[in-house]
Amino acid sequence: MSDTDGKEIPKWPDSLPPPSEMTMLPPEHVIYRESLIEEEDIYNLVHDLFYFPEDKYFLYFEYASPVIPEGFDIEKLEHFGLALRKYENFFYRRPFGDDEPDRYSYIRLTAADIKYPWHQKLVDSGPMYGRVQIELMEWAKKDIELQRLKSMSSKNEDPLLLQPNFMGVGVDLKKVPSWLKRVFSKKV
């Protein structure tokens, strides 16, 4: 075992057989209502949902709290193409690690899941949290893909290709007719 910042790296116990199969789950991202107020933050979330579709994004909130942050609006999220799909509760917050006291992870504990004393302590001491899975609506995915295609096709409307060709210059014959129409329509 080696030390990493004073901590030992966990090792599989020798007394147990090695696992025969492992499943790598997609990353889960924790989001709070306070982080979905500014439009820039919502755009960033839409970007992440589009470019990382295998990741899971969850909006966590205190279950019994009537306080909703000022500026948070579900209709605004729907306007940007975000859908709140699957609602779950019975989550309890616990510290992520000793070295990061302001970061938390969540564990789901129903009455049947309580097996250890620390589970019962979490349920007794902390408020219950709910979570909603955030997904990108299909129309938003299609809109982003259309914008990408438009930006890719409009970047190069010039029929001249400056790349290694015969004598250094090539001509894209598919673009010549539309280019000639544009050139002559501007001069008239």
What pLDDT was estimated at residue 168?
64
Domain ranges of the chain: 24-150, 156-187
What pLDDT was estimated at residue 145?
93
For residue 97, the surrounding DSSP H or E stretch is strand 82-97
What does pTM read for this prediction? 0.68
What pLDDT was estimated at residue 158?
65
Among 126, 90, 129, residue whose Cα is nearest residue 108: 90
Answer yes or no: is pLDDT of 3 > 60.
no
Task: Convert the pLDDT of each residue in 84-111 to its tens digit.
Answer: 999 999 999 887 766 666 677 888 999 8
User: Do 63 and 129 form a contact (C-beta atoms < 8 A)?
Assistant: yes
Q: What percent of the chain has pLDDT over 90?
A: 37
- The confidence band for 1, taking pLDDT boundaries of 50, 70 and 90, is very low
Average pLDDT over residues 41-64: 93
